[in-house]
Each structure stands twice: as structure tokens, then as C-alpha cells.
Amino acid sequence: MPLTLLTHPLIQHKLTILRDKNTGVKEFREIVSEIAMLMCYEATRGLPLEEVEVITPVAPARSKTVAGKKLALVPVLRAGLGMVEGMINLVPSAKVAHIGLYRDPETLQPVEYYCKLPPDIMERDCFVLDPMLATGGTAAAAVQYLKEAGARSIKLLCILAAPPGVDKLGYEHPDVEVITCAVDGHLNEHGYIVPGLGDAGDRIFGTK
Ligand code: URA
């Protein structure tokens, strides 16, 4: 499974601010958005271009535009919502799909509670957004849901990853590229990434 590590100094600097337990909700949310924008820049590096003619104030020119590729941003509720604004700033014509999953306490299987995809999802390059790839259970289920809906091109954008999540996704969905800013050491007994940054959803929405 392809894993792309984003080592750009600005991304790494901003990630350190997210990790800091003293970073407040407002700044945390803003930095998540900024990192998402930088991740979008990297994740769209392979978009096809076409040449068009444009008249500059000086002369006609041949220049390039993105060749009408259809994109879908797919935040996994709820923490993935924090990454939408930063991404959509760069790709404003992308559609936004939503996937809400919870873990059934008895079967421990992910269950969808709210999912809404654009009808042409099979024609779109899908960027699944989930800031934390921990066990990989939710991300793998979200990717599975997208595939069952017909999606064929899927990348997972997570700000932080841990080895169990990377392994699970690689095993279940080897065709899905994982793009992340860091792969941390391990998970603790509560399933949190160590050292990580805590609960991304709580820190984005101020619910703790
Ligand atoms: N989800 C989070 O928000 N944080 C973690 O460390 C793991 C999963």
C-alpha cells in the first residue's frame, strides 16, 4: 500500500502546534484547516493538466489548467469535518460527501449512521478525510462503503497515523494511498495514538 509522508517544514511546524496540549480550540481548528490545505496541495499533485490559450495583458499565451477532473471530499464524521474547509479552499468545485460511522458495542463492527454521497461518486477521485488513523477500523470501513458505492479512486488523508492503522488499511485496501504528516509509535490501551495529539474531534469542536 502506498504511504506518502508529508515532511514539508510548514506542515511539520504546524503539526507540533497541534500536538501541544496548551493549544486552544480556536488555534487548533485553524491549524487543522491550514494543514488540510497543505495536504490537499500535495494530494492533488498528480491531477491531469490541459493546455489552453489565454490572452495576457501583453500577448496571447499557451498555459495550463486542471483538466476537469471530478473530485469528492469525504470527511469521516466527526473529526474529518475539520479538514473540509482547508481542502475546499483549494478545490472549490469538489463535492463533499459525508460518512458517519459508529462502533457497535456488541459486535465491535463499524455501523453507518449517516452517509450521503454524490450520485456520480464512481467518476470522482475521492479523498477520505480523517485526521487520526489509529486502529484503522473506521477508515477501512469508510473506504469499503465508498467502494461498495462504486468509487474506484480513493486516497486517505490523515494528519497523524499509527502502525496498526497503516497495516490494517494496507491489508484490506492495498490500492488506497495513505497520505499523512507523521506515523507515531503506537496506540495506548484506550486506542489513542502515542504521543499523538489527543482526541482530534474534541479538540476541533471544544467538547472536552
Ligand atoms: N482518534 C483521535 O481523535 N485520537 C487518537 O489518538 C486516536 C483516534
Cβ neighbors of 205 (< 8 A, separation 6 or more) are: 25, 78, 82
CA–centroid distance, 44 to ligand 1, in Å, is 25
pTM for this one?
A: 0.95
CB distance 77 to 114 below 8 Å: yes
**pLDDT digit of tens for each residue in the chain (208 aa)?**
799 999 999 999 999 999 999 999 999 999 999 999 999 999 999 999 999 999 999 999 999 999 988 999 999 999 999 999 999 999 999 999 999 998 777 776 788 999 999 999 999 999 999 999 999 999 999 999 999 999 999 999 999 999 999 999 999 999 999 999 999 999 999 999 999 999 999 999 999 8
Report the atom number in ligand 1 closest to the C-alpha of 202. Answer: 3
CA–centroid distance, 183 to ligand 1, in Å, is 13
| Catalytic member of 4, 19, 135, 202 | 202
